[in-house]
Amino acid sequence: MESGGLPSDSFFQRGAGRFAPSPTGRMHLGNVFAALISWLSARRSGKRWILRIEDLDPQRSRMEYARLIEDDLHWLGLDWDEGGVDGIGERGPYCQSLRGPIYESVLERLRATGLTYGCVCSRADIMATQAPHQSDGRIIYGGRCRPATMPHHGPEPAGPHAVRLWVPDREIRFVDGVYGPQCVNLTSHCGDFVVRRADGAWAYQLAVVADDALMGVTEVVRGCDLLLSAAQQIYLYGLLGFDTPEFMHVPLICNAAGQRLSKRDSSLSMERLRETHGPGEIIGICAHLAGLIPEPAPCRPDELTGLFSPDVFAARKCLTIPSSL
C-alpha cells in the first residue's frame, strides 16, 4: 500500500540513542567505552545514534575538541546518523551552545506551571545551610528563596538570579537497565534545583531533557555517576509532558588505583592511544572490559552488536583497566 510517507518514517519510529560528550578535551578510554556501549545498545535494536555536542560551558568548551571527538569516533568505527558539529539531521542544531532559544521556550513552559522561582543565594549562602554529614559533595538547596506558597506566579527578582524548580517531597521511582529499580526523593537528594543559572547559562538538567525529548531520544546510555540525576530528569519530563526515555547507566572505567579516569590520565587519552594502538585494539580493550569478549582481541564495533546485553555488567559500578595498558 502506498503510504505516501518518506522512508525515514520507520527509521524515526525505531527510536534513538545518543552520545553527548563535552568538548573540553580529547576523549580518553572511559569516554570511548561509554560511546561504544551507547552505540552497541542503539545498533542492536536498529535505533538511530545521535552525536550531541554538550558545549554549554563557554569557558571550557572548544570547537577544536569537538572536531577531534568526531575524528576519534570515525577512526574507531562509531558512526552516527544525526548530529555532530555540522548538524546532520532535522532536529538540530546539535551543539547545545546554539540551542538557547529552544531552552528559553522550555523554561517558559516550566514557568507557566508556577513551580519555578528566582533565587538570589550565593554559593556561600547555600553552603552555610548544608548539614555537616553531606560529605559526598552533593549540595542540597534548603529553599531560602522559595515563595511561601507553591505554585507561585509572581515576578522573579529584578537583579541577577538563578531560576529554580520546586521539587515534591515524594519518591520518584524508575528502573535502570543495568542497576534495576531506583527510588529517589528529590527533596533530600538535591532540593529545588537550578534550571537557569544567575549568569544566564542553562543548567544541564534542563538542557539534557529538552535535547533528548526534542531529538526523539528513546534510550539514554551513560556513566553511572549520573544514575540518581535521572530522577530530576524524569520529574522534568513529567512536568513538560514529554515521554520519558529508558535509562541505562553503565560502569565507569577506573585506573589501577581505582579512580575514575579523567582528562588528567593523559596516558589513556586518544591522542596517546592512537600513537600505539589501532582502532580494533582499542575497541577490543573496551569490549573485554565490558565482558563481551574473553580476551582483549582486536575487533570492529559491528562485530559486537550481537554480543551486547546490559546483563554483562552484572551491576558493577567500576571496571578497572589493566595496568599493562
Active site residues: 263
Please give the size of the binding site for Zn ion, defined by CB under 5 A: 4
The distance of closest approach from Cβ of residue 205 to Zn ion in the complex, given in angstroms and rounded to an integer, is 17
Give, in order, the Cα–Cα distances in Å from 251 to each of 35, 95, 178, 225, 286.
12, 26, 9, 8, 12
CB under 5 A: which stretch of 33-41, 143-151, 177-185, 216-224 binds Zn ion? 143-151
The distance of closest approach from Cβ of residue 120 to Zn ion in the complex, given in angstroms and rounded to an integer, is 6
Q: Which is nearer to Zn ion, 121 or 293 (CB)?
A: 121
Beta strand pairing status for 116-119 and 162-165?
antiparallel
Using CB under 5 A as the binding rule, whether residue 119 contacts Zn ion is answered as yes
Using CB under 5 A as the binding rule, whether residue 161 contacts Zn ion is answered as no
Distance CA 168, CA 231 (A): 12
Q: Which position among 121, 209, 285, 287 is part of the footprint of Zn ion (CB under 5 A)?
A: 121
Using CB under 5 A as the binding rule, whether residue 144 contacts Zn ion is answered as yes
Alpha-helix runs per DSSP H in 113-185: 123-128
Q: Which is nearer to Zn ion, 119 or 293 (CB)?
A: 119
Using CB under 5 A as the binding rule, whether residue 145 contacts Zn ion is answered as yes
Amino acid at 240: L
Residue 293: count of CB within 10 angstroms of its CB:
18
Q: Which is nearer to Zn ion, 124 or 131 (CB)?
A: 124
Tell me the Ramachandran region of residue 148: left when phi exceeds 0, alpha when psi lies from -120 to 50, beta otherwise: alpha
Q: Which is nearer to Zn ion, 124 or 314 (CB)?
A: 124
Using CB under 5 A as the binding rule, whether residue 163 contacts Zn ion is answered as no
Distance CA 85, CA 4 (A): 32
CB under 5 A: which stretch of 45-53, 64-72, 85-93, 117-125 binds Zn ion? 117-125
Query: Helix or strand or coil: residue 204?
Result: helix
Give the interface with Zn ion as residue ranges (CB under 5 A).
119, 121, 144-145
